[in-house]
Homo-oligomer: A and B are copies of this chain.
Amino acid sequence: MEQTKGSLTVVSGFSGAGKGTIMKALLKKYESYCLSVSCTTRKPRPHEVDGKDYFFISQDEFDARIERGEFLEYARYVDHSYGTPLPWVEEKVKEGRDVLLEIEAQGAAIVKKKRPDTIMLFVVTPDAKTLVQRLTGRGTETKEVIAERLEQATREIDRISSYDMLIVNDDLDAAVERVHNAIQTLKYSPIRQADFLSDFRKDLIGEREKL
């Protein structure tokens, strides 16, 4: 009787809260994690590797996969489409890997609906002032863009209640440990251990009959 080991985690967060940096550090520090690789219909750039950066597929193949329900979530833009391949994710989870998927709140809600055992993490700065500082610090954002990011963050705050965990990124190392602890804890919640509990129930009845 084994507990389920693999997991799928969605990581959302304020633009500027440092999701990407946390995930990069997490992948470097612990072997069990892997990033979800998306499918895209756009052409690979010179340095990009198929199956590592993206799965590069044709629009026909993309549409066929939509038909077969093979995307956890997907988005169609004017020129290209992007999607998260469900069979690939399921295979990695079955292998015992902790799959990470960086995605905004709307996409996260779709993933959660398809896989209710998805762990949902939301990364925030310690406070609003720090968020402004980080966005300003990039040096590339205009005042208008920063204002838009703050409005977006205000809207996102109202969606955080559907997340399992709030990750405050006050310090990179601490935030990485928080994400790691959250995933390693939450994957043993009862809703994620349904098989283990159902086996346990059968065994309890068996043991009682043996008495």
- Main secondary structure on A side of the interface with B: helix
**Contact present for A150 and B189 (CB under 8 Å):** no
> How far, in angstroms, from A153 to B197 measured CA to CA in the complex?
11
Residues of B within 8 A of A205 (CB): 154
Whether a CB of chain B sits under 8 angstroms from the CB of A91 is no
0/1 interface trace, chain A 198-209, chain B, CB 8 Å (1 if under): 001101111110
> How far, in angstroms, from A206 to B132 measured CA to CA in the complex?
11
**Contact present for B126 and A1 (CB under 8 Å):** yes
**Contact present for B211 and A131 (CB under 8 Å):** no
**Contact present for A204 and B131 (CB under 8 Å):** yes
Whether a CB of chain B sits under 8 angstroms from the CB of A88 is no
> How far, in angstroms, from A190 to B162 measured CA to CA in the complex?
8
Number of contact residues on A: which range applies?
Answer: 35 or more
Whether a CB of chain B sits under 8 angstroms from the CB of A3 is yes
| In-complex Cβ contact of A203 among B1, B3, B127, B196 (8 A) | B127
Residues of B within 8 A of A111 (CB): none
**Contact present for A166 and B188 (CB under 8 Å):** yes
Residues of B within 8 A of A188 (CB): 165-168, 178
Tell me how far the C-beta of A92 lies from the nearest C-beta in chain B, rounded to whole angstroms.
Answer: 23
- Interface segment among A45-53, A95-103, A179-187: the answer is A179-187
0/1 interface trace, chain A 74-86, chain B, CB 8 Å (1 if under): 0000000000000
- A-B pairs with beta carbons under 8 Å apart, 11 shown: A127-B200, A128-B203, A129-B203, A131-B204, A131-B207, A132-B207, A143-B211, A150-B211, A151-B208, A166-B197, A168-B188
- A131-B207, A178-B185 given; name 5 further pairs at CB < 8 Å: A1-B126, A122-B190, A146-B211, A165-B188, A166-B193
